[in-house]
Amino acid sequence: MKRADKQREQDEELLNGLLKLDATKREVWRYFSDRADKFAEQLWTTGTWIFGIIAAVLALPFVAKFIEVDSNRLIRFESRPLTIFVCLFGLLLCAYSYVALKDIREHIEGNWRRSDLARTGQWLEANWGGRKLRGWLVLMIFGVGSVAAFVSLIALALFW
């Protein structure tokens, strides 16, 4: 089955289920569904801001001239301790960002489950398929890339 056909089938199932609900259950479903949407917006906004800050921290050793570009060795460390300190701060910021974004994700999932419970009367697992998953993966790729960059700079500062 094609993805478009599967999506259409899921949309039809959702719509038919909502049409069968009484007004009270529909309002409960809408409440939790809207909360999940608000948390999803917050996830992306928070992730964007956090990774903007992380990018600034990653650039700081270069802007502050702790690391200089050198034609002979590619880079030259003017201040290894300060570079390591900034990178350790960056790693702590990456860890915090993962915890914060994971917390928002758990709130989204909880509201999806509650909205499904209101709609179907069953406790269903949250579905992170399609576009939702891609957004989460983009944030995680930026996080893993940032961690790799900070660890690489620390390793270079210690052993280069």
List beta partners, residue 76.
68
Tell me phi and psi for residue 79, to 5 degrees. -145, 90
Q: What is the pLDDT of residue 158?
A: 95
Which amino acid belongs to residue 37?
D
pLDDT tens-digit readout, 113-132: 998 888 888 888 877 777 77
Any residues with CB less than 8 A from the CB of 18 and at least 6 apart, and which? Answer: 26, 29, 119
Q: What is the pLDDT of residue 145?
A: 97
List, for the chain, all residue ranges whose pLDDT scores fall below the cut of 50. none
Q: What is the pLDDT of residue 116?
A: 84
Q: What is the pLDDT of residue 57?
A: 98
Could you write out the DSSP letters of every residue in 27-95? HHHHHHHHHHHHHHHHHHHHHHHHHHHHHHHHHHHHHTTSEEEETTTEEEES-HHHHHHHHHHHHHHHH
Domain segments of the chain: what residues?
Answer: 3-159
pLDDT tens-digit readout, 72-90: 888 999 999 999 999 999 9
Could you give the CA distance from residue 54 to residue 89 in angstroms, rounded to a whole number?
Answer: 10
Q: Are the C-beta atoms of residues 90 and 146 closer than 8 Å to each other?
A: yes
Q: What is the pLDDT of residue 1?
A: 65
